[in-house]
Amino acid sequence: MTKDTHDSDVAFIQALAELLNKNDLTELAVKREYGENDRLDVRVSRQTQIVTMAAPTAAPAAAVAPAAAPAVAATVVEDPAQHPGAVTSPMVGTAYRSAEPGAQPFVQVGTAVKEGQTVLIIEAMKTMNHIPSPRAGTVKRILVEDGSPVEYGAPLMIIE
């Protein structure tokens, strides 16, 4: 590899990093083919930190009326990605809940699924990738809308 190619690769990787930040993405993967046995595989990612904070439980009596206490408790939200039954996206792409527009979705809330059964499709680079259920169980929650973009590791649904 020549120095010019190396310099252009560094500029290319810097451009990918800027694209990652500008579009608020968590990961990009690119392959560049230069010729036979000469290619560049690049994966640029950034670590996102999820901070979970519990709502305060004690407050001055004059500031909070007794009727407001249940509302404070309701603000604590469970992170679906941490659920043991979460099915996560294996790639970046667009999630589709059915095989084609207007067709019945693969699964709905309450559907019993078998291990390996297709639960949705993720389109990535014009390729339709069937996402199988990692376990047998019942679909409890669907966390993505049909046609919505998903990122690597994003929770797609909960199967228990």
Residue 138 counted as domain residue:
yes
CATH code of 115's domain: 2.40.50.100
Same domain, 33 and 91: no
The number of distinct structural domains making up the chain is 2
- List, run by run, the mean pLDDT of 10-residue segments along the chain (160 residues): 63 77 75 75 65 51 48 52 83 91 90 92 90 92 90 90
pTM (2 d.p.)? 0.51
Residue 26 domain boundaries: 3-45
Classify residue 66: in a domain, yes or no: no
Note whether 158 and 86 are within 8 A (CB).
yes
> Is residue 68 assigned to a domain?
no
CA distance 159 to 110: 9
Examine residue 132 and state whether it is found in any structural domain, yes or no.
yes
Q: Judge whether 65 and 138 are in contact, CB under 8 Å.
A: no
CA 15 to CA 136: how far, in whole Å? 43
Angle at 57 between CA 55 and CA 59, to 5 degrees: 110
93-132: burial string, b at 16+ Cβ within 10 Å, e else: bebbbeeeeeeeebbeeebebeeeeebbbbebeeeeeebe
pLDDT in tens, 70-100: 444 444 446 776 778 889 999 999 999 998 8
Up-side HSE of residue 67: CA atoms within 13 Å toward CB?
0
